[in-house]
A and B are shown apart, each in its own frame.
Chain A
């Protein structure tokens, strides 16, 4: 079946540090890939997405590149802020908008 694996954390960084959260997927075919972010007490919000191989999604300083050869979609940010503290979910979907599969989430804490 389809699945998403990501580092579960928690990840603790100092402000302005470089962030990488790894995400790999298993799927038959070529899904769309997403990163969602969940702030405390809230629902998930889309952070970025990529729909085909070699696409790069970017938003708010975060980036991720769809790598078909390694079935990966790692999330990166060059300089994190305290306000980036949240839980990050990697996800995939087929048929563009249907049947999302989420990873377990990675909790990020950024210290001042």
Chain B
């Protein structure tokens, strides 16, 4: 199916563990983004990518790592999860010709 999909939808992990959130889009959009959504903070940009092998930090990048070896995939890794990283994570993609961002359904991550 065409679109942008995130996996898993829900994840519980322990403090200190590494966890990877997956994001896949089928449109070949150039830009991809990772946001976290927290009460009182709205959406905050973690990392974004302008193309394969090009990534840059957003507003809150500490504790996260991204890669983009293929245009369609943009995984987000928490190297050593902390409780403050408990959040809902959204992946999005965008094409310059359309201007809007398309969002995945989100991953609810709980760090215990």
Q: Are the C-beta atoms of B95 and A97 separated by less than 8 Å?
A: yes
A65 CB to nearest chain B CB (Å): 18
Asked if B43 is at the interface (CB within 8 A of a chain A CB), the reply is: yes
Asked if B90 is at the interface (CB within 8 A of a chain A CB), the reply is: yes
Chief secondary structure at chain B's binding surface: strand
| Chain A interface residue count, Cβ-Cβ cutoff 8 angstroms | 23
12 A-B pairs besides A32-B99, A44-B103, A99-B48 with CB distance below 8 A are A41-B105, A43-B90, A44-B90, A44-B92, A44-B101, A46-B102, A93-B99, A97-B98, A98-B96, A100-B101, A102-B43, A104-B41
A/B interface sample: 13 pairs, CB < 8 A: A32-B99, A42-B106, A43-B104, A46-B100, A46-B102, A89-B42, A93-B101, A97-B31, A97-B94, A97-B95, A97-B99, A98-B50, A105-B42
A93 to B90, CA, bound (A): 17
Asked if B33 is at the interface (CB within 8 A of a chain A CB), the reply is: yes
| Shortest Cβ distance from A95 into B: residue | B96
Contacts of B95 in A (CB 8 A): 97
Asked if A24 is at the interface (CB within 8 A of a chain B CB), the reply is: no
Contacts of A89 in B (CB 8 A): 42-43
A75 CB to nearest chain B CB (Å): 16
